[in-house]
Structure 1
Amino acid sequence: MKKFLAILLAMTMLIGLVGCSNAKQTQGDKATTTAIKDGKYKGEGKGKGGAISVEVTIENDTITDIKVLNQKETPGYETAMNTLTKNIISTNSVDVDIVSGCTLTSKGFLEAVNAALTAAGAKADMLKKLQASGTTGTKKEVNENHDIVIIGAGGAGLSAAIEAKKAGADVIVLEKMPMAGGNTLISGAEYAAPNNWIQKKEGIKDSTDQFMKDILKGGDNKNNPELVKVVAENALAGAEWLRDEVGVIWEDQMMFFGGHSVKRSLIPLGANGKEIIRKQVAKAESLNIPILYNTTAKALFTDTKGKVVGVQAEGEDKNYTFNTKKAVIIASGGFGSNIEMRVKYDPKMDKNVLSTNTVGSTGDGIVMAEKIGAALEGMEYIQTYPICDPLTGTLLYFGDARMYGHTIMVNKEGKRFVEELERRDVISMAIKEQTGHVAYQILDQKGLEESNLEEHHGPEIDYLYKNKLLVKADTLEEAAKFFDINAKELKGSVDRYNGYVKAGKDLEFNKRSMPSTIEKGPFYILKAAPAVHHTMGGIKINTKAQAINKDGKVIEGLYAAGEVTGGIHGTNRLGSNALADITVFGRIAGQNAAK
C-alpha cells in the first residue's frame, strides 16, 4: 500500500510539473518546448479610420505571418501596415517604430497585433529574440535615365505625371513618404470651379472674372495676376478632366467657402481627398507610370549652362542618380510641418502652433530649387485653418458644416465674434483672440444631416466624442454646460441668429449664407482651434509652370506646381482653391515638360 501511494504521489507531481511547464510542440520526430502554443490568433485595434483587425500566425514562438482581416484606413495607409508587418516578422518583435506620417494607423495596427498575442495567452517578451536580417549599411548605387522626373506624388505631381505620360514622355515619380497623396489625401479636396455644371443647375451666376477677383481680394492683391488668371480660366476644365479622364466622382452638391462671392466649390465623393488620390494613382498605374515610395529627392544637378538635367535621391536600400532628357518637375508641397522654416519666415508660427499638414510637408523642394538659383516668392505668408483638433492640429471635417452655412461660432462667453464664412486667416486670428484660443461651433440635427457629416466622417465623429471635443445634447443649455460655455449668452446668440435667418439679413456679421435656423434638437457643439494649414510662398514660376531664377529668367529644365510654388494665392488662400491650383498647374507642368 505504501509503495502504491508513493507511486501515485510521484505521478501527481509529474502531472503538476507538466501542467506548469511550457507547451510542447512536435516537429517530425522532435519535441520542442515553446512558450506560446502554435496557432492563428485574432486581435483588434483602433486606427484613424476605425477598427483594424488582424490574424497573427505563431509557430515555435515566432510570428510567421500577419494578415489584415479588416480595416478602413485612408487608401495608401495600408502601406504602413505592410511595413510594420515586415519589420515585426524580421525581428520577431512588436517593439518596432511607427511609420512616419501614419501615426494613428501604425498605433492601431500594433494594438491589434498585441491583442492577438494576448489572445494567444502570450506576452511580447515570450517571442524568440531575433536580429533583423537587414542590410550591411551600404546602399546600392543606381543610375537611370528618364525624360521627366517628378518629385512628389500628391495631387499636383500625379496630375503632371498623367499629362506628361499621355504626351509620350517617359516619366517616373519620386515620393519620400510610404504612400501617395501628400496634403491632398488628407484634405477635404473641395474644388473651386466657376461656371460649373451644378451652378448652372442651381441657377447661380458666376464667371472666371468674378473668380479671379475673389482670389485677388482673398490674397490682399499680393498675388501674381497672370498666375491667378491661368487658374481662373482653367479651373473648370481641370475639374472636368479629373471627372472625365481620371474618373473622379463629384457629388451632386457644392460648398460655400469663406471669401468666395458665390457658392462654386465642388465636392469629391466622400468629401475628402481619398477620391482624388485613389483615382489618380489608379490612372498612373494604368499608364505604367512608376512611383517610387520611400524615396527622397536630395538635390538637383545642372549642366554647364545651368539647365537642370537630373535628380539625386535616396531610397531605403539604394542611392539614385536620375538623369533627365527633358525636365524635372517639383511638386513636393509646402513647408507647414517644418517648424524651423516656418519661424524663419514668420516668427509667430513657432512650435506652439500645431499643423494640419502631413509630416512630409517640410519644404524640401523649395530648398533644392533655391540652391540652384531659383527665386522664392511670398514665403512670409503662412495660413492657419480655423477648425482643427486642439489636441493634434488635425483638420476637422466636422467643420465642413460651416461651409454649408448651417453653423455659428461662439466663444467661451457664448457670443459670436466673427462671420463664419470669412476668410480662413481672419477667422483663425479672431479665434486666437478668444478665451482659451478656441472656438465652439454650434449646429442642430437638421444642420448635421444636411451637411452629411455622419455619412462622410463617422470615424472622426467617434474620435471627437471619445476625446471630449464634441458633445450632443437635447438642449443648448445642456450642451453649453459640457464645455462650461455661458448658456444664457449662447441661447441669446442662437435666438438672434435665427431671427436674422428669418429676416434674411445678419445684422451683426453680415453672414453671406444662412440656409437654415439652429433650433431642431439634438444640438451639437464642437471645440476647435486654428493650426497651420497652407504655406502660400514657394518657387517663383511663370504661366508655363517654369521655375524662375533670381535674375527673372527661366531655369531651363525645371518646372514646379502646387503648394511648392509661390505667387498664386498672395497673403491668403481661399478654401477650395488649392485643388484648382494643383490640378491646373500640375497639368500645365506635365504638358510643357513633355514638349
Structure 2
Amino acid sequence: MKAFKKHLSLFVAMIMLFALMATGCAPSSKTYVGEGKGKHGAIKVEVTVEKDKITDIKLLENTENKVLSEPVYEKIKNLIVKENNANVDIVSGSTATSKGYIEAVQDALKKAGLKLSENKIAVKPLEEKETTQEYDVVVIGGGGAGFSAALEASKAGSKVVILEKMPTVGGNTLISGGEMNVPANWVQKNLGLTNDSADLYYNDTVKGGDGKGVPEMIRVLADNALPAAEWLRDYVNVKFLDNQLFQFGGHSVKRALIPEGHTGAEMISKFQAKADELKIPVKVETKAEELLLENGRVVGVKASNAAGQALTFKAKKGVIIASGGFGSNVEMRKKYNPEMDEKYLTTDTHGTTGDGIVMAEKLNANTMNMEYIQTYPIANPVTGVISLLADTRFDGAILINQEGNRFVEELERRDVISKAILKQTGAYTYQLWNQEIADITNNMDSHKSEYEELVEQKLIHKADTLEEAANFFNIPIDSLKATVEKVNEFAKNGKDLDFNHRGKLISLEKGPYYIQKAVPSVHHTMGGIVIDKDARVMDKDGNVIKGLYAAGEVTGVIHGTNRLGGNAITDIVTFGRIAGQNAAEEK
C-alpha cells in the first residue's frame, strides 16, 4: 500500500511538472488587426506582439496598386519590426499608400494596449557600396520603355542597369490602362476581324497626329507593332484578354489588346519578374542628373540617390533615355504651351518632369513638337487621375453636358473631345452608361477601388432610373430622356444621325445606370527628343550623338499634335526594344 501511494505521488508530481512545462511553452504572442486609409481604400494588417515587442506584420486587405505598394510596405514593415516602433515617417513618392499602412499598424497597436513611441523614425534609403559602377548599357527610367530596352540589351549579352528616380518602378505605364494597338493581331483573328493591317494603322496614326509625326518613324512603329506584342506575350509573359479589344478614338477598327486586370500593372509586374530572372539591377530612388560625354561620345551618367550619395554609372556601350515626358512639370508645360498651366491637373506620375529631355538638350540634342500637349478627356475632377472605370466609353457609353445633351462623338480623338468638354457649362462632362454596357466592358470589378473612391467623392452614382441619375447631378430630366431616346433609336437603326459614332451605340432603355462626372487632365506630351529608326538620338545639325539612345514619351517623333489612345504602349515597347538591341551592339 505504501509502495502504491509512493508511485501515485510520483505520478501526480510528473503530471504537474509536465503541466508547468506546457504552460511555459505556451505561446505568449498575440495578434491584433488594424485598419488605415490608403490612396484607394482600406488597408488592413495583422500585427503580432510578443512581450510588448512587434514581431511580425501581415497584410490582410489592400486596394492599392500592388506593384507600387508592396515595396513600400516591405520597407516600412522591416523598419517597424527592427526598431519596435510604429511612429514612422511616410515614404516620399508614396504618401497616401505609406500613410495608410502606418495608420493600420498603429491602430492594431492601440488595440494591443501599447503606447506609441514619441520618437519618430524615418525610412532610410539604401546606400550604394560603390559610388562608381560600370555596365555595358545604362537605362534611365523604370517604366515600359526602360524595361523593354533593358531586357533586350540583356538578352543580347550586355550587362545592364536601370536607374529609376521614384521609390518604385512603373512610371506612367503602371497607372495606364495598358492597352496596346496592334494591327492584324491574334485577338482580331479570334473575333473574326480581318479588316486591319499595318498600312491602315499607319494611316490612322499619321492622320491622328495631323501629319506632324515623322512618317518613316511611324512606319517603323506600324511594321513592328505585332512583333512587339508577340514578344510581350511569349517572352515577357504578359497576359492579354483573348476575347476582347478596344477601339480608341481616331482608330478605324478595334485593334487595342487589353491586358489582364485592365491596367498596366500586368505589364510592369511581368517586366520586373523578367528583369529579376535576368539579374538586371534596378536602382530606385536614383535620379539621373547628367550625361557624361568623352570625345564626342556618351559614356555614362552622373546620378544621386535618396541617401545623398553622388554616383557615377559608366556605360561601355551606350545610355538609353526612357524617362518619360513632362506632364507633371507645370513650368515646362507653360514654357512650350502657355495654355497648359496650373488650371489643368495631370494623370501622370509625379516623376514625369522632363528630366531626360533637359539632359539631352545640354548635349545639343534636337527636339520637336514640344508645344503639343494632350489632355485625357475623362479624368477625376478632384485628383486629375485618369478614369479607367470610364473605359465603358469605348463600348457605347455616351457623353452629356449639364443640360443633358450629347455634344461630341464619344470615339473622337482625345484632343477633340477635351476641347468640346471645355466649351460646355462648367467645363466638365458626364458619362452615362447602363449595366448592359458595363457587362460588355467587364472592367467594373477590375477598377473597384476607383469606383469606391468616386462614390465617396460624389462623382459617380448608380441609379435604377434615368430620373434618379438626372436628380443626382441636377440635370434636366426631360432633356436627358430626349437624348437617351435618340440614342436608343440610333442603336436600333445602327446609324448615329447626330455625331456619326464610328463604333456601336448600345440601347440605354434599361437600367440600372451609372453616371460619372469628369474633366480633361494633362495626359501626354507629344514633343521630345528626335531619334532615328535605330532609336539613336540626333543633334540639332542632324548628326547622331554617339552612345545615346532614347525611347518612349521622352521622344517627339511619333504622335504629332495628338497621340491616339493605345499608341503609347505600342510606341514604348517597339522603340524600347530597338534601343536596347542597338545599344547592345555598340562597339
Superposed pair shares fold, TM > 0.5: yes
**Structure-2 residue corresponding to 1:154:** 143
Contact 2:435/2:512 (8 A) holds in 1:
yes
**Structure-2 residue corresponding to 1:209:** 199
2:96 corresponds to 1:104: yes
Aligned-partner Cα distance in 1 for 2:458–2:122: 41
Could you tell me which amino acid in structure 1 is paired with residue 551 of structure 2?
A: A
Report SS of the residue matched to 1:153.
coil
Report SS of the residue matched to 2:431.
strand
What is the identity percentage for the equivalent residue pairs of Structure 1 and Structure 2? 55
Could you tell me which amino acid in structure 2 is paired with residue 98 of structure 1?
A: I
Contact 1:150/1:330 (8 A) holds in 2:
yes
**Structure-1 residue corresponding to 2:6:** none
User: How far did 1:399 drift?
Assistant: 1.2
- 408 and 286 in structure 1: CA distance in 2 versus 1, 3 angstrom threshold: same
Alignment equivalent of 2:132, drawn from 110, 127, 143: 143
- 463 and 265 in structure 1: CA distance in 2 versus 1, 3 angstrom threshold: same
Aligned-partner Cα distance in 2 for 1:490–1:92: 59
- 133 and 154 in structure 1: CA distance in 2 versus 1, 3 angstrom threshold: closer
User: How far did 1:49 drift?
Assistant: 5.0
Alignment equivalent of 1:527, drawn from 482, 503, 517: 517
User: How far did 1:500 drift?
Assistant: 1.0
User: How far did 1:53 drift?
Assistant: 1.7
Bigger mean CA deviation after superposition, 41-50 or 313-322: 41-50
Contact 1:561/1:585 (8 A) holds in 2:
yes
User: How far did 1:361 drift?
Assistant: 0.6
Aligned-partner Cα distance in 2 for 1:114–1:466: 24
**Structure-2 residue corresponding to 1:81:** 73
**Structure-2 residue corresponding to 1:327:** 318
Contact 1:44/1:52 (8 A) holds in 2:
yes
Q: How does 1:181-580 map to 2 (within 5 A)?
A: 181-201=170-190, 202-252=192-242, 253-303=244-294, 305-317=295-307, 318-404=309-395, 406-580=396-570
Aligned-partner Cα distance in 1 for 2:52–2:342: 44
Report SS of the residue matched to 1:583.
helix
- 138 and 545 in structure 1: CA distance in 2 versus 1, 3 angstrom threshold: closer
- 308 and 482 in structure 1: CA distance in 2 versus 1, 3 angstrom threshold: same
Aligned-partner Cα distance in 2 for 1:434–1:186: 28
Listed one character per residue, the Cα deviations across residues 246-294 of structure 1 (whole Å, up to 9, x for unaligned) are 1011102101100001111110111110111111111111111111111
Contact 1:91/1:129 (8 A) holds in 2:
no
Report SS of the residue matched to 1:403.
helix
2:104 corresponds to 1:115: no
Task: Show structure 1 runs of 5+ residues with no match.
Answer: 1-36
- 234 and 111 in structure 1: CA distance in 2 versus 1, 3 angstrom threshold: same
- 169 and 138 in structure 1: CA distance in 2 versus 1, 3 angstrom threshold: closer
Aligned-partner Cα distance in 2 for 1:582–1:257: 18
Report SS of the residue matched to 2:572.
helix
Contact 2:40/2:453 (8 A) holds in 1:
no
Could you tell me which amino acid in structure 2 is paired with residue 147 of structure 1?
A: D
Aligned-partner Cα distance in 1 for 2:37–2:391: 24
User: How far did 1:75 drift?
Assistant: 2.7
TM-score scaled by structure 1? 0.89
**Structure-2 residue corresponding to 1:31:** none
Listed one character per residue, the Cα deviations across residues 78-113 of structure 1 (whole Å, up to 9, x for unaligned) are 112233345656776655443344333223213312
Report SS of the residue matched to 1:454.
coil
State the number of aligned residues. 554
User: How far did 1:436 drift?
Assistant: 1.6
Bigger mean CA deviation after superposition, 211-220 or 84-93: 84-93
**Structure-1 residue corresponding to 2:38:** 47
Aligned-partner Cα distance in 1 for 2:303–2:515: 47
User: How far did 1:39 drift?
Assistant: 5.6
Aligned-partner Cα distance in 1 for 2:464–2:234: 45
Report SS of the residue matched to 1:343.
helix
User: How far did 1:371 drift?
Assistant: 1.1
2:163 corresponds to 1:171: no
Contact 2:88/2:123 (8 A) holds in 1:
no
Aligned-partner Cα distance in 2 for 1:545–1:481: 54
User: How far did 1:60 drift?
Assistant: 7.8
Contact 1:296/1:313 (8 A) holds in 2:
yes
Task: Show structure 2 runs of 5+ residues with no match.
Answer: 1-27
Aligned-partner Cα distance in 1 for 2:583–2:253: 35
Contact 2:163/2:286 (8 A) holds in 1:
yes
